Structure formats: C-alpha cells, structure tokens
Structure 1
Amino acid sequence: MFEHVIIGQYLPGQSVLHRMDARAKLLCLFFLLIIIFMTNDWIGYGSVWVGTLIMFFLSGVSFRYMRKGMIPILILIAFTFLLHAFFTKEGTILLSLGAFSVYSGGLQEGTFIAMRLFLLVWMTSLFTLTTSPIDLTDALEQIFRPLERFGISPHEIAFMMSIAIRFIPTLLQETEKVLKAQVARGADFTKGSLKDRSQAFISLLVPLFVRSFRRAEELAYAMEARGYHGGVGRTKLRKLTWRRRDTAACLVVFCFGMICMFLRQ
C-alpha cells in the first residue's frame, strides 16, 4: 500500500525541471501553492490543471510512476470529497439518500477541495522527484540565511527539513512492514470493538516508534563518525547557479498566477 508513495523520493534525470535551480523551483512551487489556495472557480482550476500538465511533461517523469504514487492519496481525496458532498448544505438538492442529501453547492465544494488536495500532492511530488536532497538542502539554507542575524543556523534548519522530507517514504515503508508483521501474528485492524481496534493500533504504533528512534540514532552515529559538526566552515562541492531560464520560469509562473487572480470570480 505504501511502497508506491513518491513524496520525498528523487529520480535522477536531465529534464527541464531537473536542470532548474532548486531555489527557482522552490519559488515557483510557492507561487503555485498560493494560486491553488486562491482559486475558487472552474476557470481557475482548469487553468491550474493545464499548468500542472505542462510541468508534468517538462519533468520527464513517467505517468505510470506518478499514477502508482497517487493511489494511496486518492483514498484521502475520496473521503474528503464525500465529506463535503454530504455535509455542505448549499444550493439545490440533487439527490436524497435517507437522512443525507447531496446539494449542488456541496458537490461543487467537494470537487474543488478534492482537486486542491490532488494538485498539492502532485506538484509537491514533482518537486521532490526532480530535486536532489543536496540541492534542496542548499536552496533552503540560502533562503533561511537572513535568520543568522537572530542567532539561528540556517544550515541546521535546512538539514532537518530535507531529512524529514527524505524520511517520509522510509517511514511509510516501515509502517507497511510492521502492519504486515502484526497481521501475520493475528492482529485485526478492521474488526472488533473500538477498544479492540485501539489495542491493535497500539501494536502497530509502538514498534513503529521504536524503529523510527532506532533509525534516527543510526543516522546520528553515522554523521558523528563522519565528522559532521554543522554548517560552520563547511565547503560545497557543487554550488547552485541561477540562470536566465530560472528567472524566466519564475516570471512565467508569476504571470500565470496574476492571470488566474484576474479570472477569479
């Protein structure tokens, strides 16, 4: 179930998005996320979908790989859609199912929220798939550099964020292994009373926490053995280079956002 989660993974390549500066990709992603949250009509979402498809073709990632990675997210998206469709009572009644009624406003709101979640996960996945962890850490470090005036280390913040993103698929794989192991030992997460399910969930949660702390400890030992002491005095093998295409990409995304805001009802 979790082996196809793609958030936090990186696929090496030579596509247009792979060759972009990581800082430019972060800035474009920030603009796109704002556009998604500000969009509230069909024209805006249609425009965002067109932009998302263009980004997908520029990434060089196969559709089959993306489709497998989005399957676990579709369960949450479907649940969110049904929640809004049945409990948002706006507009005219389209369908009545006993005590529940589906309104036109609820159906539209559920569709918008579902598309918003899908686009958020899709764009974030494209960003991590086309940005190496090293480039991501360097970009975040430069973005957070003004925090040095307040005594905060930008390198430490960037390193923690990149490690957290990178460990998302790892923790999900660990969850899958623990879940299968507990099911093989007779644990049932779908049947029984609420108390029985809670106890079964604890049998999943405790080993997962133990494995997570063990991985964190192993990572700390590995960093210490390699002489890691933070960002003080560290040099970089590769430096990020901002090119004209990065400026052009940011301008295109910014203008695209302005057009979507202009078309916003």
Structure 2
Amino acid sequence: MKGGARYMSNALLLGRFIPGTSIIHRLDPRVKLLTTLYLILIIFLADNWQTNLLLYSFVLIGVLCARLSLRFFFRGLRPMFWLIIFTVAMQLLFTHGGTVYWQWGWLIISQTGLQNGLYVFLRFVFIVFVSTLLTLTTAPLALADAVASLLRPLRWFHFPVDEVALMLALALRFVPNLMDETSQLMAAQRSRGVEFGEGNVFQQMQALIPLLIPQLVTSFRRADELGTAMEARGYSGTANRTKFRIQQFHGRDGAFVLILLILTGLLILMR
C-alpha cells in the first residue's frame, strides 16, 4: 500500500521543482522555455543515429550540469509508457517499405517500419527528457513569469496575458498536490478493501469512482478558498502590477544561446 501511494505521488513530475544552484538552474526561465520548445521542434530534423546521438548528448550534458539523477527522467516516462508503445506499434505495423521481416495477413513488419518506430520512440523519450529538465530546474512561478514576459506583446491585442500566466502558475503549483491527495485517497480506500488495477477494464474504472467524488469536492473547496484569499488581498490581473522577481538576460544566457546555434548547425550538417 505504501509503495502504491509513493508511486502515485512521484509518477507525475509536472510542476515538481528541485531547488539548486547549478548553471541550468540559474539560466533565465525565458531562455529555458524557448530552448525546450526549440529542441522539441528540431528533434524532427534528426533522421539518423548521428543526429539523435548529438541531441541526446546535449540533453545528457544538461542533466549532468543540473546535478540531477537520471531516475527522475525515467520516472517521467511512466505516465507516457502506453502512449509510446501504442504509437511505436502503429509505426511498426502500418509503415511498409524495404525488407519484409515478418508478415501475417495485413500486418507487416518491414525495415522502414522498424526504422520509423525507432525514431518515434527516440523522439518521445527526448521530448519527455527535455520537458522534465525544464520543470525540475525551473520554479513554477518563474516559469509562469517567463510565459507572461514572452506573451507581453499580445497585450496590444487585449489578450489576458496576466490571467493566462496566473492559470499556468496555479496549475503547475497544484497538480502535484492533487496527485499527493490522490495517493492518500487510494491508501485510505485500500485499507477498506478496495483493490486498484485488478479485474477487467470496467472493474478498474469502477474502482476509481470512490476517488473521483472526494477529489472533486476537495478541488472545488480549494478553488473557492483560493479565490476568496485572492479577493481579500485585492488581486487584479489587469492592473499594472510590479514584479518581485525581475528576470534579466545575463552573459551565461547568451553563451547558452550560442551553444544552441552551434548545435543546430551541426545537426543540419550531419543530416
């Protein structure tokens, strides 16, 4: 029971921040956010083992510089495991070309299918690693401030930038709490004889019903208390608010951008 609760508590790394003083922690959150989005885009340029090795080496160096354990990153793969398996299987069975290794009716495993399945797997793992590195080294409030800063030009079009940043900050802040509360509810239900993960799909879904109602009640109560607290403090997202944390672009951020440009050049040459 305790192991299951711990799994639920640690399975989702979204919003979990590990404080540190590494060079990755001290990078400007705007640079880290844009770098994450950029790396997710250029992963599709990797079409051979050399380019994939280059990108994975870049991320692993970032992990070492952040002084983080790789177990956090492999743990981040758990919630995506079945989606990764399903997508890889679709590429493996329904992409044809090259040498045929196995065939059963309309199901075919060919050289092209294996190659595409491998690339899809590597891209999924890379995206999870990069996003995990971002969340583990960037405080949720700093990430929300980065989003607000990057979306600031949209204020000219009356886009609610501050409200969007606030919603992102609240989501990143309370998602881990919801997971922790879910693990506690599961432990309480197990003590009453409820078994999770056993039986067919419908039985497993029925076992989750005792978790949904308490979780919904707790979420609505917390949202109401949070709204009351914000109103009591006179919060207004549309006002010209000052910032307690001032984000500044430093020399290390410029050096990191230069390294990223060099990486892009090498990636294009090695394709």
Above 0.5 in TM-score? Answer: yes
1:65 paired residue among 61, 72, 76: 72
Alpha-carbon RMSD? 2.7
1:191 aligns with 2:196: no
Counterpart mapping for 1:80-229 below 5 A: 80-96=87-103, 100-179=107-186, 184=192, 186=194, 190-192=198-200, 199-200=206-207, 204-229=211-236
Which digits, 9 at most, give the CA deviation of each residue in 1:224-247, with x for residues without a partner?
Answer: 333322252422223111111101
Note the C-alpha offset of 1:161. Answer: 1.9
**1:43 matched to 2:54:** no
Match of 2:8 in 1: 2
Task: Give the fraction of aligned pairs with identical amino acids, expressed as a percent.
Answer: 35
Q: 1:111 to 1:212 in 2, by over 3 A?
A: farther
1:239-250 matched pairs, under 5 angstroms: 239-250=246-257
- Asked if the contact 1:90–1:104 (Cα under 8 Å) also holds between the matched residues in 2, the reply is yes
Tell which deviates more after alignment, 47-56 or 71-80. 71-80
Question: Helix, strand or coil: the match of 1:2?
Answer: helix
Most deviating of 183-192 and 247-256: 183-192
Question: How far apart are the structure 1 equivalents of 2:183 and 2:89?
Answer: 26
> Compared with structure 1, are the counterparts of its residues 99 and 121 closer, same or farther at alpha carbon in structure 2 (3 Å cutoff)?
same
| Count of residue correspondences | 263
- The one-letter amino acid paired with 1:77 is I
CA distance in 2, matches of 1:37, 1:207: 42
Separation in 2, partners of 1:152, 1:53 = 37
Find the aligned partners of 2:209 and 2:65 in 1 and give their Cα distance: 44
Indicate if the aligned counterparts of 1:27 and 1:250 stay in contact, CA closer than 8 A: no
Shift of 1:17: 0.6
What per-residue deviation string (whole Å, max 9, x for no partner) do you get for residues 54-86 of structure 1? 111111112233333433433432333233223
Listed one character per residue, the Cα deviations across residues 124-156 of structure 1 (whole Å, up to 9, x for unaligned) are: 111111111222122111111111111123221
Classify 1:234/1:130 alpha carbon distance in 2 versus 1 (closer, same or farther; 3 Å): same
What secondary structure is seen at the aligned counterpart in 2 of 1:115?
helix
Q: Structure 1's 174 and 113: CA in aligned 2 closer, same or farther, altered over 3 A?
A: farther
- Which runs of no fewer than 5 residues in structure 1 stay unpaired? none
Q: Gaps (5+ residues) in structure 2?
A: 1-6
Kindly indicate whether the alpha-carbon contact (under 8 Å) linking 1:6 and 1:69 is maintained by their aligned counterparts in 2: yes
> How far off is 1:187 after superposition?
6.2
3-state DSSP of counterpart to 2:77: helix
Alignment partners' CA distance in 2, 1:166 and 1:106:
41
Q: Does 1:26 align with 2:40?
A: no
Provide, for residues 185-213 of structure 1, a one-character-per-residue CA deviation record: whole Å limited to 9, x for no partner.
54665534x66565555555454444433
Structure-2 separation of matches of 1:173 and 1:104: 44
Greater Cα shift, 225-234 or 29-38: 225-234
| TM value normalised by structure 2 | 0.83
Q: Structure 1 segments of 4 or more deviating over 6 A?
A: none
